Structure formats: structure tokens, C-alpha cells
């Protein structure tokens, strides 16, 4: 069986994580923290916490080297009911919701650029149905690519990931160039830092959302060369953390603080500040390709999750079938695409983001708690060679932060959070039926 290489695995994680978030969230984080210095600390903290999650999942992936990610680990720690509830929420909401977010954001940037208008103004002028129709078209284009050839999907991911890494390097070079010929546009001190804990919590939530996707390789652990999963995860997150910190520094070298904190399209504003309308167009293309790469990678892992759920009997067996000629899980791809289309048609962008975030952190919390349970209950559980075991403080720190974010969501958006919790346990009824 052909295994995914180190480069392929890194491209999957880096390609999913470097989506639209790094080109939109920095302004939100800075606004909540009140200063550049505090914002950079939040980004560093979010990177370390994501790395803690990745390291914990790496141990689980080595311990239980099967496709399915959360589903496999929850089954081992808590039984089939927990695994089924996760699969139900992931297949019907989490993965399709994530794909819908990427597709819709890509189209918003496309239309804003095509109309050559300020994004906030263009959002009122462009019909919602037009954004949704183009988002669906982009989704099915990527779906057709994956249905045609798994290799084509993997190669596309590698190419797009290289492009995105180079784009963030370009952001850093742009910041350096600006500082050579001019003074920093923002003050990098901690002056005017916010004293509100809730603001820092919301900033951390936004930054962690940008790092989302670090668990992607765990969904295809069986398809990765034995023992290489920890290297893939840790190497990918090391690259991502450095690139994200450098990008944030560059944004504030070029953009005044008040402008940076007043926009959710900081990447486009950065491009305009460097090179006028042409720079804005270039960065609009960069952001669109970044969202496209995230969509491509998420669809790949989503279809494999559906296959894994079918193999476990959680879904009809037909979704586990691979096309004999193309060697691709066409039924799984079609199901994932169809559900994403429903989310695009019926969902609101901001509500989708909140719903996805709460659901994801509930399951991340339970999985890492499951790691601690397995360490106690099954200390001799077979591990691959070479063995991998993260420091005990790593899963504890991650689980504590995840619980904090869940509680914060309950207080800030109680009804939306309640809906997300309800969806997490919605699988109980069909499980017993």
C-alpha cells in the first residue's frame, strides 16, 4: 500500500491551517488586546497551545494508528457511543461546516476584488445568492478533482501549500522592506494593553481558530508511513507558528494600529499599503488560494472520516466503498460535498464559525482527556516503533484551555453554544435506534 510521505503529510496540515484566518484574524486579536505587544503574546500562546494539542494527538496516532482521528481515540477511551456521537456530529456538521466556511470566504474575497470595492461596502452590494452559488461551484470543482484522482488531490495540496508558505514569506519580506525605507507604522510596546480578561479570552479564541486543522493527519494515520506521524505534526506546527508570528509582525510594521484593528481583511489592507490597488489585488488572489487550499485539504480528510465511520458500522457500508477504476472514495466525497452545500445554502457565515468552534473544542477536550484515561487504564497499549510519548503537562494544559474556551462560549453566546452542545449529543438517539 502506498503511504503518504513526510512532505505530503506536512502539506496536508500546513495547507489546511494556513487558510483565510491569518489574513483576517490579526486585526481582531489586536483590537481585543489593545496593543501590538499583547497581541503577539496571544499569538505565541495560541501557537504553543495548538502545538500541545498536536503533540497529544501525535501520541494517540502512534498508539492507535487507524484512520478516523477523534472517532478512533474516543472509541478506545470511552466506548462506541462517544465515537458514534463524534462521527455523527463531524460527518453531518463539523466537516461540512468547515468546508462551507472556506468556500464562502473564498467567494466573498473574489467578489470584493472583482467589484473593486471596499469589502464592507461590497458585502452589502453583492447578492447573497451569488456568493453562495459561486461557493457551491468551487466546492464541486474540488470534489470532482478528488473523485477523479487521489494523487491529483494530494499534488494540488502540495502545490498550493508551497504557494501559501511563499506568500507568508512575501509578507515578511514586505514588512522588512517597509522598515528599511520607513519607520514602523505601529508601536510594538505594551502601552494601552487591555485590562479586561474577557478581551484576552476572545483574542485567544480568534487566534486558536486560525490554527485550526493541526489534527488533519490523524484522520489518515493508517495511510502515513509507520512512525512518521509525530514528525509530520511537530514539523508542520513549528513551521506554522514561525510563519504566523512573522506575518503578524509584518502587518504592524506596515499598517497603523487603528487601521489594523478596524478591519477583518488585514491581508488585503497590507497589500494596498505596500503597493496600492495592485498590491490589494495580489493579496486578494493569495487569500483566495489559501482558502482554496484549506477547502481541498478538509475535503480529503472529511471523505476519509466518512470511510472510517462506515467501516465501523456507523454509516451505511456503501460509503466505505472505493471506486475500482479511480481508487477514490467517491461516495464519501459526494456525501461530504452534499452536506457542505446544505450549510452554504442555509448557514450564516458568522454563526457557522461560532457553531464550528464550540463543537470542535468540545471534542478536542474529550479526546485529550481520553489520552489521559488511556495512559492510566492501558499503560501497556502497543505503540509503534519508535515510540512517542508527550510530557504529561502537555495534554493537561491543552485540556484546561479547551475547557476554559467552552465555558467562555457558554457565557458570551449561550444559545448558539447550547445548539452546538445539542448537536454533539444528537447521535445518542440514532445510535440506540
* pLDDT (tens digit per residue) in 155-193: 777 888 888 899 999 999 999 998 888 888 888 888 888
Q: Are 174 and 180 in contact (CB under 8 A)?
A: no
Terminal CA-CA length for the chain: 37
Residue 293's nearest CA partner among 98, 50, 41, 15 is 15
Express each pLDDT in 194-243 by its tens digit: 888 878 888 888 888 889 889 888 888 888 876 788 999 999 999 999 99
CATH number (domain holding residue 270): 1.20.1740.10
* pLDDT over 60 at 119, yes or no: no
Instruction: Work out the mean pLDDT of the chain and round it to a whole number.
Output: 84
Domains contained in the chain, number: 1
For residue 64 the three cell numbers come to 492507535
Domain-located, residue 411 = yes
- The full DSSP string for 215-258 is TGGGGGGGGBPTT-HHHHHHHHHHHHHHHHHHHHHHHHHHS-HH
Q: For position 124, what pLDDT does the model report?
A: 55
For residue 255 the three cell numbers come to 499598517
Q: For position 362, what pLDDT does the model report?
A: 92
Q: DSSP letter at 4?
A: B
pTM of the model: 0.85
Domain-located, residue 1 = no
Q: Which residues pair with 224 in a beta bridge?
A: 4
Domain-located, residue 129 = yes
Calculate mean pLDDT across residues 134-151.
83
Domain-located, residue 119 = yes
* pLDDT over 60 at 1, yes or no: no
Express each pLDDT in 302-360 by its tens digit: 888 888 888 888 888 888 887 777 778 888 889 989 988 988 887 665 566 667 778 88
Domain-located, residue 148 = yes
Q: Which domain holds residue 273?
A: 6-432
Amino acid at each position: 500500500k502506498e503511504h503518504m510521505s513526510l512532505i505530503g503529510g506536512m502539506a496536508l496540515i500546513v495547507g489546511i491551517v494556513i487558510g483565510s484566518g491569518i489574513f483576517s484574524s490579526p486585526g481582531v486579536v489586536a483590537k481585543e488586546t489593545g496593543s501590538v505587544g499583547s497581541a503577539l503574546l496571544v499569538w505565541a500562546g495560541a501557537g504553543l497551545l495548538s502545538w500541545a494539542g498536536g503533540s497529544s494527538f501525535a501520541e494517540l496516532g502512534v498508539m492507535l494508528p487507524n484512520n478516523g482521528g477523534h472517532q478512533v481515540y474516543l472509541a478506545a477511551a470511552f466506548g462506541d457511543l462517544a465515537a458514534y456521537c463524534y462521527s455523527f456530529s463531524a460527518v453531518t456538521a463539523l466537516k461540512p461546516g468547515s468546508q462551507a466556511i472556506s468556500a464562502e470566504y473564498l467567494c466573498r474575497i473574489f467578489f470584493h476584488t472583482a467589484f473593486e470595492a471596499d469589502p464592507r461596502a461590497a458585502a452589502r452590494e453583492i447578492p447573497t445568492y451569488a456568493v453562495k452559488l459561486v461557493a457551491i461551484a468551487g466546492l464541486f470543482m474540488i470534489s470532482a478533482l478528488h473523485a477523479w484522482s487521489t494523487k491529483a488531490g494530494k499534488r494540488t495540496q502540495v502545490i498550493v501549500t508551497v504557494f501559501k508558505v511563499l506568500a507568508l514569506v512575501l509578507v515578511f519580506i514586505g514588512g522588512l522592506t517597509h522598515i528599511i525605507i520607513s519607520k514602523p507604522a505601529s508601536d510594538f510596546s505594551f502601552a494601552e494593553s487591555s485590562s479586561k480578561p474577557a478581551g484576552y479570552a476572545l483574542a485567544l479564541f480568534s487566534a486558536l481558530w486560525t490554527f485550526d486543522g493541526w489534527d488533519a493527519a490523524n484522520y489518515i494515520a493508517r495511510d502515513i508511513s509507520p512512525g512518521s506521524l509525530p514528525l509530520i505534526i511537530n514539523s508542520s506546527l513549528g513551521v506554522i507558528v514561525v510563519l504566523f508570528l512573522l506575518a503578524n509582525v509584518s502587518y504592524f510594521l506596515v499598517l497603523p494600529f487603528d487601521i489594523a484593528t478596524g478591519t477583518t481583511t488585514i491581508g488585503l489592507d497590507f497589500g494596498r499599503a505596500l503597493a496600492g490597488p495592485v498590491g490589494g489585488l495580489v493579496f486578494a488572489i493569495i487569500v483566495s488560494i489559501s482558502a482554496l487550499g484549506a477547502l481541498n485539504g478538509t475535503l480529503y480528510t472529511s471523505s476519509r472520516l466518512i470511510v472510517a465511520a462506515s467501516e465501523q458500522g456507523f454509516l451505511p457500508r456503501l460509503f466505505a466503498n472505493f471506486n475500482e477504476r479511480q481508487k477514490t472514495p467517491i461516495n464519501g466525497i459526494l456525501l461530504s460535498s452534499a452536506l457542505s452545500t446544505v450549510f452554504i445554502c442555509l448557514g450564516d457565515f458568522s454563526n457557522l464559525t461560532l457553531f464550528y468552534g464550540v463543537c470542535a473544542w468540545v471534542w478536542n477536550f474529550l479526546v485529550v482527556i481520553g489520552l489521559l484515561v488511556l495512559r492510566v487504564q492501558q499503560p501497556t497499549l502497543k505503540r509503534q516503533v519508535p515510540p512517542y510519548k508527550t510530557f504529561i503537562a502537555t495534554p493537561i494544559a491543552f485540556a484546561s484551555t479547551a475547557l476554559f474556551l467552552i465555558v467562555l462560549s457558554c457565557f458570551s453566546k449561550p444559545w448558539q453554544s447550547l445548539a452546538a452542545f445539542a448537536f454533539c449529543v444528537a447521535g445518542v438517539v440514532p445510535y440506540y435506534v
